């Protein structure tokens, strides 16, 4: 479902907790990947940029487009209160789409609605089993569409 699944990064909490905060605003000052519109059946490709979330977060929580403002706001507190979550970052749908435009060519051919708002989580060091249990719990929270982890330590399949 999520076209931004490729943006999902780090899962498992095995990296040191001294990671720098992502510089999303600095990244959004980069120019949009060209060509921005391709038309026809031309597929987009990466523009050689690296998402500011890579190496800074462990789990990406993508929100439902239908999530109410109360659900979105409440989710921040719920995620921050979960055991093992040490930091929560929010990326609005507008920021997510702007990031997508800088990462991929042909981005104008993708509707804004395909790139949801998200929460990005930094986790304390934990076992994969505990991380997977945490991801399972997050998937059940109101307003959550999907959860992604680093491909080197994938989340359990949605079940």
What is this structure's pTM? 0.77
Tokens 């921040």 identify what position? 76
Task: Give the separation between CA 17 and CA 31, rounded to whole angstroms.
Answer: 31
Is 130 within a domain?
A: yes
Is 31 within a domain?
A: yes
CATH number at residue 142: 3.30.70.3040
pLDDT in 10s for each residue of the chain, 159 residues: 334 433 333 344 444 446 677 777 877 777 787 878 887 666 777 767 777 777 778 999 999 999 999 999 999 999 999 999 999 999 999 999 998 888 888 888 888 889 999 999 999 999 999 999 999 999 999 999 999 987 667 887 654
CB atoms within 10 A of CB 3: 17
Task: Give the separation between CA 3 and CA 7, rounded to whole angstroms.
Answer: 9
| Structural domain count, the chain | 1
Burial class (CB in 10 A: 0-12, 13-18, 19+), 15: middle
The pLDDT value recorded for residue 4 is: 41
Is 50 within a domain?
A: yes
Domain interval for residue 76: 3-13+24-149
Is 154 within a domain?
A: no
Is 141 within a domain?
A: yes
């Amino acid at each position: 479902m999520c076209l931004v699944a490729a943006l999902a990064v780090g899962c498992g909490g095995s990296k040191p907790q001294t990671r720098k905060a992502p510089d999303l605003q600095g990244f959004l000052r980069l120019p949009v990947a060209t060509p921005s519109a391709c038309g026809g059946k031309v597929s987009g490709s990466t523009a050689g940029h690296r998402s500011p979330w890579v190496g800074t977060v462990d789990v990406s929580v993508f929100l439902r487009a239908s999530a109410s403002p109360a659900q979105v706001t409440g989710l921040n507190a719920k995620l921050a209160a979960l055991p093992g979550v040490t930091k929560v970052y929010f990326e609005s749908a507008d920021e997510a789409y702007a990031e997508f435009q800088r990462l991929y060519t042909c981005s104008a051919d993708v509707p804004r609605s395909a790139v949801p708002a998200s929460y990005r989580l930094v986790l304390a060091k934990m076992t994969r089993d505990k991380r997977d249990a945490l991801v399972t719990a997050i998937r059940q929270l109101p307003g959550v569409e999907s959860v992604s982890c680093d491909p080197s330590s994938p989340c359990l399949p949605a079940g």
